[in-house]
A and B are shown apart, each in its own frame.
Chain A
Amino acid sequence: MSLTLSVDGERWRAHLRSVAETHPGLVPVLKGNGYGFTVGRLARKSGWLGVDTVAVGTYDELPHVATRFDGDLLVLTPWRPFGAALEVDPALARRVVHTVGRTHDLADLLEAQPDARFVLERLTSMQRHGLSARDLWATGRMLQDHPGVRLEGIALHLPLAQGSHLGEVDRLMNDVVAAELPTHTVYVSHLTDAELEQLRASYADYEIRPRIGTSLWLGARDALRVTATVLDVHEVERGDSFGYRSRTAPKSGHLLVVSGGTAHGIGLEAPTGDQGLRARAATLARGGLDAVGFVRSPFSIDGKQRLFAEPPHMQASMLFLPSGARVPEVGEQVDVRVRYTATAFDRVVIS
């Protein structure tokens, strides 16, 4: 009765292995819903991959990972002198690597925990978190007065590739050199393999550690399949009413009740990241359909995407199947197209 993510384990593991082998120093990113797999499962998988460090998004995610992975835990959200950052389980303190994005936060962090391990994040063109070049230099000078501190590296969080990143990376790396920091480790994200290779070549005196999430866990798309279960089937004639809102059927056919609803993230429109005109037009069109009739659902039967008969419920959805189409049996599996990072699966089955 579940929304299920089925994984072709052999292919998936082969992909994970190959990413790890071609990306020495890999830091797997496990955050949010764990890319659909849950962070706990990805933590165990990271241990299996043999990496020494994983990255989580927030301090609140630490407990889900800490018991399933033995190595270091890098927190991507910058440390702030308030909230969950101050409530880290003392038993974990030695394994946690904080991210520092403001000069005065570093002073506060060291005051709260003099032996804290941390990376310094350099602000990139993302303009999200991090230190400016001059902040980084100032921090470098500050660290010269604290020879004992545990600076573990520099972090660069780059935007998704739009052309080459190398110009920006080169400028950022120059700022790192200028800061004279007592570390030669740099954590980077979102570089293509070719860009990483170039960076490693020209900064071979630095240890470049790629932080990878999506292309690691979801990189082998054809090893992943999402299915829902047909829970019930009802024949309807034109004009029959059904559902919470007593809608009427526009023509004869079948109503299908399938597993998967709003609790899983089904039917919630997440921005696709596709900026094309077509994609935006499609979003508009879907909104328009809602007012006059049925909306396209992410469920497909025999390769054809089917319409929602009414808005999805918490754990199930109702689809409309016009007459003429093959009617699936109760218990049959149907395919669902989802955004993995926005879906909570009931079951993840790895073969």
Chain B
Amino acid sequence: MTPGPSGTLLSVREISESEHLALIRSRSSASFLQTPAWGRVKAEWRRESLGWFEGEQLVGAALVLYRQLPKVKRYLAYLPEGPLLDWDTEDLAAWLAPMAAHLQRRGAFGVRMGPPVVTRRWTAAVVKDGIADPAVHRLGELPPTGRDATGARVVAQLRELGWRPQVAEGGFAAGQPQYVFQVPLVDADGKPRTEDDVLAGMNQLWRRNIKKAAKAGVEVSVSEDLEAFHDLYLHTAQRDHFTPRPLAYFRTMRDALAAEDPDRFRLWAAHHEGDLVAATIAIRVGTHAWYSYGASSTEKRDVRGSNAVQWAMIRDALAAGAAVYDLRGITDTLDADDPHVGLIQFKAGTGGEAVEYAGEWDLPLNRALYAAFDLYMRRR
């Protein structure tokens, strides 16, 4: 054990899923990748709910996924978008050292985590200007609209403590995205924004498309029909050239998330004259709402089902009291020629801001095994 922030000692031990969930509920929000339910979605990995204790009081928690090395019973302990702890501390070692010791006892040769702390933000307008400027290639070349001192202190401390940043080539690496696009649903004072205000923040094209969908008679509703979503999703995968996940994955995801909290998982469907034109999955933990998966038809694109279903999800998040609507990953490229830039443009059209997180960091616990794993990952 190491001395805690208030001079007491922090210890780490396994906790039950209900304790874990109770801690998440006591906070305004946590990443959905840190919920016990997400461990069930990733059933191919051993999982553990970890708790930090100051005396007998639970003060932090993590979902750990143990990913086994081929052939040996040693694991990479992975804490996606976690853990959930007091990142504002200047004594991060007090939190991370007992965690590393615990994970090592459990057979981990290394730890990978993605501290849920923001380092920089850029407004949609800045992003738009950056795309238009041929001299600008990456988000980092633009002055951020805001920098976060807490995030900077986390980054500085991780370096100090021997953690290694995992550089995501081109933005989408194996791990979770470092850059995401978010629409704040509260103003600077934390007061909820109105629907009109959020709508006014969108670009003209988005507003026009939302209107157009309504005029064309697109109807958006919450749906139970996962098969219909999956059919459209397979169609989208073929069109946009990505590898789709099987229907069983989404079933597990819905069942696990819904069992934890009825508001966690919501399937949305946009119909036009009986045809499914767009379908999406929304996830919410506390005040953080995510757009997770989306599918759209190639036919009837002109009725703008995708815009309609996004607007419905945003309104729903607002009604649920969410503070952030998160459109998840973007790459940091602003090159007009890069195929990823279309995704950024689409997301930036909602207004809001591009957000940089601290990214994923590794701590080697067994140098030799970690080096072998690192080499394997690079060659993959």
Contact = CB atoms under 8 A, between A and B. Distances in A.
Contacts of A318: none
Given A134-B90, A137-B90, A205-B147, A178 B156 contact: yes
A19 B140 CA distance: 27
Given A204-B142, A205-B143, A205-B147, A171 B159 contact: yes
A248 B328 CA distance: 87
B140 A179 contact: no
Given A171-B159, A174-B156, A175-B156, A201 B141 contact: yes
B141 A177 contact: no
B160 interface: yes
Interface in B81-96: 90
Interface residues of A, number: 15
B379 to A, nearest CB: 25
Nearest to B154: A178
Contacts of B152: 174-175, 177-178
Contacts, number: 33
A75 interface: no
Contacts of A175: 152, 156
Residue among B90, B140, B153 with max Cβ neighbours from chain A (10 Å): B153
Interface in A248-272: none
Interface string A136-151: 0100000000000000
Contacts of B141: 201-202
A201 B140 CA distance: 8
A202 B140 contact: yes
B149 interface: yes
A133 B156 contact: yes
A171 B159 CA distance: 9
Contacts of A180: 149
Contacts of A203: 143
Nearest to A136: B156
B149 A179 contact: yes
A137 to B, nearest CB: 7
Contacts of B107: none
Residue among A134, A137, A171, A178 with max Cβ neighbours from chain B (10 Å): A178
B144 interface: yes
Given A133-B160, A179-B149, A201-B141, A174 B155 contact: yes
Given A133-B160, A171-B159, A178 B149 contact: yes
A174 B153 CA distance: 8
Interface string A176-214: 011110000000000000000000011111000000000
B8 to A, nearest CB: 21
Interface in A116-171: 133-134, 137, 171
B89 to A, nearest CB: 12
A73 B283 CA distance: 58
B316 to A, nearest CB: 35
A177 B117 CA distance: 14
Contact of B153 (A171, A178, A202, A204): A178
B153 A137 contact: yes
Interface string B126-151: 00000000000000111110011100
B96 to A, nearest CB: 16
Nearest to B139: A202
Contacts of B144: 205
Contacts of B159: 171
A201 B90 CA distance: 29
A109 B142 CA distance: 37
17 contacts: A133-B156, A137-B90, A171-B156, A174-B152, A175-B152, A175-B156, A177-B149, A177-B152, A178-B149, A178-B152, A178-B155, A179-B149, A180-B149, A201-B142, A202-B140, A202-B141, A204-B142
The 6 closest A-B CB pairs, nearest first, are A204-B143, A178-B152, A177-B152, A178-B153, A180-B149, A205-B143
Given A177-B148, A201-B141, A202-B141, 14 more contacts: A133-B156, A133-B160, A134-B90, A137-B90, A137-B153, A174-B155, A175-B156, A177-B147, A177-B149, A177-B152, A178-B156, A202-B140, A203-B143, A205-B147
